[in-house]
A and B are shown apart, each in its own frame.
Chain A
Amino acid sequence: DAGITQSPRHKVTETGTPVTLRCHQTENHRYMYWYRQDPGHGLRLIHYSYGVKDTDKGEVSDGYSVSRSKTEDFLLTLESATSSQTSVYFCAISDPIGAGDGGNTIYFGEGSWLTVV
Chain B
Amino acid sequence: AQSVSQHNHHVILSEAASLELGCNYSYGGTVNLFWYVQYPGQHLQLLLKYFSGDPLVKGIKGFEAEFIKSKFSFNLRKPSVQWSDTAEYFCAVYNNNDMRFGAGTRLTVKP
Residues of A at under 8 Å CB distance from B? 31, 33, 35, 40-45, 48, 50, 56, 59, 90, 102-111
Contact = CB atoms under 8 A, between A and B. Distances in A.
A102 B51 contact: yes
B43 A109 contact: yes
A43 B97 contact: no
Contacts of B34: 105-106
> How many of chain B's residues touch chain A, expressed as a range?
20 to 34
A110 to B, nearest CB: 5
Contacts of A50: 97
Nearest to A48: B97
B94 interface: yes
Contacts of B32: 102-104
A43 B43 contact: no
B90 interface: yes
Nearest to B1: A59
B99 A45 contact: yes
A43 B34 CA distance: 13
A42 B94 CA distance: 15
Chain A interface SS verdict (over half):
strand
B43 A42 contact: no
B102 to A, nearest CB: 5
Contacts of B87: none
20 contacts: A31-B97, A40-B103, A41-B103, A43-B101, A44-B101, A48-B97, A90-B44, A102-B32, A103-B32, A103-B51, A104-B51, A105-B34, A105-B49, A106-B34, A106-B94, A106-B99, A107-B46, A108-B44, A108-B45, A110-B43
Contact of A42 (B1, B51, B90, B97): B90
A92 to B, nearest CB: 8
A42 B101 contact: yes
B46 A110 contact: no
